């Protein structure tokens, strides 16, 4: 697969830093950001790269050259005038027959591109976008997906108060079918998320969202540049690459994140417990991923459908997002084993391998995020969570005041940590107290 780096932007918000060099030439750790990108692509076996240039394009060209010194083949495509994020690729060679990668030139990243390509192929997608939860979703452009990661639409800022959304921001990295070029006009300024992708969805093309916890940050403002530089120095950029193991805190939902009123099946009944926002923010600023795994038999029982459960999860993500807290992923089990409820959904009334204490959700997360389970935790309020923890090799923590009422499995009883609530459990994990 070939890659295109869109490097024509002016970067007006960067002030005098871009008087003599274009934005992609700004250095991070002594190396221009575009060179970091090229090296990341090459590491993943992507060695044919096209760079689109406009503002001070000569500076890029003379520094990067034809790619020989990197062991790659690099070509250039010059935009005659700035044409937005999409317009610049209109002039790509018409013999481009295969799907190709597009990256914006002002992003510092370290990702496993082959995993992204696998995802794209597995879904037979026309276009795939990399997305990630943002810690400021309220002022970000968001991507709307269904539970199979298929993109339903885009929700650009500003967001109306009192509306709920998935917290998935567009990271600015795509795999495109060459057919996308037909949607781009050659003399108009065009943007992928505003002009091209919504049109593709209208035309019933399949767009998919690939959610990865890897490091991908744009440095479009001086403030962001400074934080990207800090992350690079602390080696966070490299450490978060999926080729490296990550650690995680798995969170049960009802009774840990929100009040458990029993069988929560409408968003009006979803209310965060005190201290949860701060606890999740604490996880977010640590090395741990925050991953929800929740049994939701309300679907099998026919109390709500998948869309209504999604609404509840959107409310959870929005309430957290409004306060700069995020969940890296939510896994749920819609099944339930015993039949005999009025209105139940027969095909979901099965004994599955995802309903805790089974560990299907944990194993999916392990494979999606390359998680080291032995160094990770599960925080739950029921015996099922604790047993799932033991079965999978996670360290379980029980948050419930009265342990006696349910834990009758003697050998397990004394072997796990008990904390009063989520904030105490997170404090114990991260601060050791």
Q: Which of 254, 381, 385, 421 is catalytic?
A: 254
Residues 339-378 that bind Zn ion (CB under 5 A): 352, 354-355
Please identify, using beta-carbon distances, which residue of 251 and 333 lies nearer to Zn ion.
333
Q: Which of 112, 218, 231, 252 is catalytic?
A: 252
Residue 404 has which token pair? 């006696």
How would you write 9-47 as a 3-class SS string? CCCHHHHHHHCCCCHHHCEECCEEHHHHHHHHHHHCCCC
Whether 252 is a known active-site residue: answer yes
Report the nearest approach of Zn ion to the CB of residue 388 (Å).
12
Please identify, using beta-carbon distances, which residue of 36 and 335 lies nearer to Zn ion.
335
**C-alpha to C-alpha distance for 274 and 272, rounded to whole angstroms:** 6
Q: Which range binds Zn ion by CB under 5 A, 27-35, 58-66, 332-340, 369-377?
A: 332-340
Report the nearest approach of Zn ion to the CB of residue 280 (Å).
25
Integer angstrom CA distances of residue 20 from 85, 154, 344: 22, 36, 66
Q: Which range binds Zn ion by CB under 5 A, 148-156, 166-174, 278-286, 326-334?
A: 326-334
Q: Which range binds Zn ion by CB under 5 A, 112-120, 171-179, 335-343, 382-390?
A: 335-343
Please select the residue that binds Zn ion; options are 23, 314, 315, 335, rule is CB under 5 A.
335
Q: 């990668």: which residue's tokens?
A: 101
Q: How many CA atoms lie within 13 A of 152 on its CB side?
A: 10
Q: Which range binds Zn ion by CB under 5 A, 79-87, 303-311, 313-321, 333-341?
A: 333-341
Which residues sit opposite 368 in a β-bridge?
none
Please identify, using beta-carbon distances, which residue of 318 and 382 lies nearer to Zn ion.
382
Please identify, using beta-carbon distances, which residue of 37 and 295 lies nearer to Zn ion.
295
Mention every residue, 6+ apart, whose C-beta is less than 8 A from residue 237.
108, 109, 110, 215, 231
Please identify, using beta-carbon distances, which residue of 333 and 378 lies nearer to Zn ion.
333
- Closest by CA position to 311, among listed 343, 254, 270: 270
Mention every residue, 6+ apart, whose C-beta is less than 8 A from residue 212.
111, 115, 116, 130, 132, 242
| Contact set with Zn ion (CB under 5 A) | 333, 335, 352, 354-355
**Which residues are the active-site residues?**
252, 254
């Amino acid at each position: 697969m070939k890659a295109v780096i869109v490097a024509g932007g002016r970067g007006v918000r960067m002030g005098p830093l871009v008087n003599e060099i274009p934005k992609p030439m700004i250095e991070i750790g002594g190396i221009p950001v575009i060179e970091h990108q090229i090296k990341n692509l090459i590491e993943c076996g992507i060695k044919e790269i096209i760079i689109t240039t406009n503002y001070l394009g000569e500076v890029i060209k003379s520094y990067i050259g034809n790619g020989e010194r990197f062991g790659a083949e690099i070509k250039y495509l010059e935009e005659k005038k700035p044409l937005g994020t999409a317009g610049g690729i209109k002039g790509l060679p018409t013999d481009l027959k295969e799907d190709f990668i597009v990256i914006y030139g002002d992003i510092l990243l370290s990702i496993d591109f082959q995993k992204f390509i696998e995802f794209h192929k597995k879904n037979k997608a026309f276009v795939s976008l990399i997305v990630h939860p943002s810690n400021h979703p309220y002022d970000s452009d968001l991507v709307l997906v269904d539970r199979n990661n298929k993109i339903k639409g885009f929700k650009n800022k500003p967001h109306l108060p009192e509306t709920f959304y998935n917290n998935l921001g567009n990271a600015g990295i795509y795999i495109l079918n060459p057919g996308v070029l037909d949607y781009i006009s050659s003399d108009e300024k065009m943007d992928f998320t505003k002009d091209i992708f919504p049109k593709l969805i209208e035309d019933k093309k399949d767009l998919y969202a690939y959610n990865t916890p890897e490091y991908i940050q744009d440095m479009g403002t001086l403030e962001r540049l400074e934080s990207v530089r800090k992350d690079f120095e602390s080696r966070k950029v490299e450490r978060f690459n999926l080729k490296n193991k990550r650690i995680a805190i798995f969170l049960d939902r009802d009774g840990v994140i929100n009040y458990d009123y029993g069988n929560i099946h409408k968003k009006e009944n979803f209310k965060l417990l005190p201290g949860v926002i701060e606890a999740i923010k604490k996880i977010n600023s640590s090395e741990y991923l925050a991953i929800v795994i929740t049994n939701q038999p309300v679907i099998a029982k026919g109390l709500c459908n998948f869309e209504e459960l999604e609404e509840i999860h959107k409310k959870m993500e929005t309430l957290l997002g409004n306060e700069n807290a995020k969940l890296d992923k939510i896994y749920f089990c819609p099944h339930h084993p015993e039949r005999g409820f009025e209105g139940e959904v027969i095909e979901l009334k099965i004994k599955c391998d995802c309903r805790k204490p089974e560990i299907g959700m944990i194993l999916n997360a392990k494979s999606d995020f390359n998680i080291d389970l032995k160094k990770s935790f599960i925080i739950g309020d029921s015996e099922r969570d604790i047993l799932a923890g033991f079965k999978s090799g996670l360290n379980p923590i029980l948050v419930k005041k009265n342990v006696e009422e349910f834990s009758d499995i003697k050998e397990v009883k004394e072997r796990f940590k008990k904390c009063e609530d989520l904030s105490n459990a997170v404090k114990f994990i991260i601060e050791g107290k």
